[in-house]
A and B are shown apart, each in its own frame.
Chain A
Amino acid sequence: METRTDYIIQVKDLVKTYNHGAVVALNHCSLDVKKGQVIAIIGPSGSGKSTMLRSLNLLEEPTSGEIYFNDVELTSKKIDLNLHRQKMGMVFQHFNLFPHKTVLENITLAPVTLKIQTEEEAKGVALQLLDRVGLLDKADEYPNMLSGGQKQRIAIVRALAMEPEVMLFDEPTSALDPEMVGEVLDVMKELAQEGMTMIVVTHEMGFAREVADEIIFMADGEIVERGMAEDIFAHPKMQRTKNFIDKVL
């Protein structure tokens, strides 16, 4: 039973606990994201931001609650999760490029293995995307020859090569040297302008303010406040949000 909604992602009453309930990482969180929206999740460390993001493609298995992607319930046991994950790109804090594969192989591995593209097509797509992020000349290098900023741009390309409908970013610039943050954020900005649906866990307040349509502020495993970037930064409604914004700005 599928009822069409405008939402690309819906999270209903998500709970995640560890150690048989001793640690509550997410406490009844609900969230919806429309196609084309860019959402930034901010909050102090340990607030459950990453857990929330990683739950969206079920890298974290929720303790309870439901997650819908294009109105398909991912938390149901009846669906083929791998099929839906193909359409949800993910970028990690530590890049997680495959060190035993060249840049090109990193990008083409999934599309070719999953028979979404032929080897020729995948190579074409990969080179085109690499060109876009200015790393065409690195196609045959191995990841350990690249800088952090280059690795992260390639990780973004690897996710994009699957032609995802939504991109999940898990603190994509937190492991980068300061001078490399810009080059990664630029790629993300460009993506946002092209209308990609994006959910970004970030500590880059400038980026959140400039690029995100909406900001979600999380603390202690709860979504405290959600609103337009300007409202959250300039006139937060909740005291906890205000305290955090005061500290980081």
Chain B
Amino acid sequence: MFWEWWQSLFVDMTASSFFNFSFLPKYGEAVIQGVVYTLILSVVSVLMAVLPAFLLATMRLSKNNIIRSISGAYIAVFRSTPLLVQLMLIYYGVFSWIPVPNFLILGFIDASRFIPGVVALSLNSSAYVAEIFRAGILAVDHGQMEAARSLGLSQGQAMKLVILPQAIKNVLPALANEMITMIKESSVCMVLGMSEIMFTAQTIAGSTMISIGPYMIAAFIYFLITYPTSKVIENVERRMRRGDKN
């Protein structure tokens, strides 16, 4: 009885359908463009998030109640709603008012979709990166600021010369992890027709009637990018911690 049920699950599916990659010769170039699209999209988004995130983190650490809660509200909203919803609201909402130039980047990235996508992803990412920065700054021993101020350095000088160099070191692994998260999360951009990895896989599936293989390739690619990267980060992190012990 169990085996009958078990076999019924695979009626229309042969094991080979998972590994039907016959579309590759024809669509290889599209897949590579998809990978490049995903990488550019996620890297640009995280880099664009760094500056606003730094601003948000500084505001979050401010003594002023109002400034602190503005930043807090931003972070709360963007971390507590799905990225997909934010993407929709920004693309169909905000960018229905803002004209976007229509041209191709590298010959296959459509700017009129790419720009709103990057804006949405980096607005979202800046909320997460802000918390990373905040934790990084707070992780620097309080005595460091006191020592710097006791020497007569201003708050800004102490921040720039003493606190931030140490905080950045704390933060780099977490920032790299955010990059990995973004590589995976950026797949939601397929709903806007941005031809990154997932959209490419869907397109191939649609036009070849090979329904599983393209998504398997997508999964492989995401894994091949993110897993080794996360291992490298882990390694760097471990080595940094070893150098750190006082």
Contacts and interface: CB of A to CB of B under 8 A. Distances in A.
Contact of B150 (A85, A98, A109, A114): A85
Interface string A106-127: 0001100110000000000000
B153 interface: yes
A159 B151 contact: yes
Nearest to B162: A98
A200 interface: no
Nearest to A94: B143
B146 A100 contact: no
Interface string B132-162: 0000000001011011111111100100011
Which residue, of B143, B152, B166, B246, has the highest number of chain A Cβ atoms within 10 A? B152
Contact of B246 (A89, A113, A144): A144
Given A100-B166, A113-B161, A59 B146 contact: yes
A57 interface: yes
A226 interface: no
A82 B144 contact: no
- Interface size on A, as a range, is 20 to 34
Contacts of A87: 152
A87 B150 CA distance: 9
Interface residues of B, number: 21
B151 A162 contact: yes
B238 interface: no
Contacts of B165: 100
A35 B132 CA distance: 47
A144 B245 contact: yes
B79 interface: no
Majority-rule SS of B interface residues:
helix
Given A92-B147, A109-B161, A100 B153 contact: no
Interface in B198-246: 244-246
A90 interface: yes
A86 interface: yes
Given A92-B146, A96-B141, A98-B144, A85 B151 contact: yes
B166 A162 contact: no
A22 interface: no
A88 interface: yes
Contacts of B144: 96, 98
A234 interface: no
A113 B153 contact: yes
B114 to A, nearest CB: 38
Contacts of B148: 98, 110
A153 interface: no
Contacts of B151: 85-86, 109-110, 158-159, 162
A45 to B, nearest CB: 18
A84 B161 CA distance: 20
10 contacts: A92-B143, A94-B141, A96-B141, A96-B143, A98-B144, A98-B162, A113-B157, A143-B246, A144-B245, A158-B151
Interface of B: 141, 143-144, 146-154, 157, 161-162, 165-166, 169, 244-246
Interface of A: 57, 59, 82-90, 92, 94, 96-100, 109-110, 113-114, 143-144, 155, 158-159, 162
Q: Which 7 A-B pairs have the closest CB atoms?
A: A86-B152, A96-B147, A110-B151, A90-B150, A96-B143, A85-B152, A144-B246
Given A110-B151, A114-B153, 17 more contacts: A57-B150, A59-B150, A82-B149, A84-B152, A86-B151, A86-B152, A90-B150, A92-B143, A94-B143, A96-B144, A96-B146, A96-B147, A109-B161, A109-B162, A110-B153, A113-B153, A159-B150
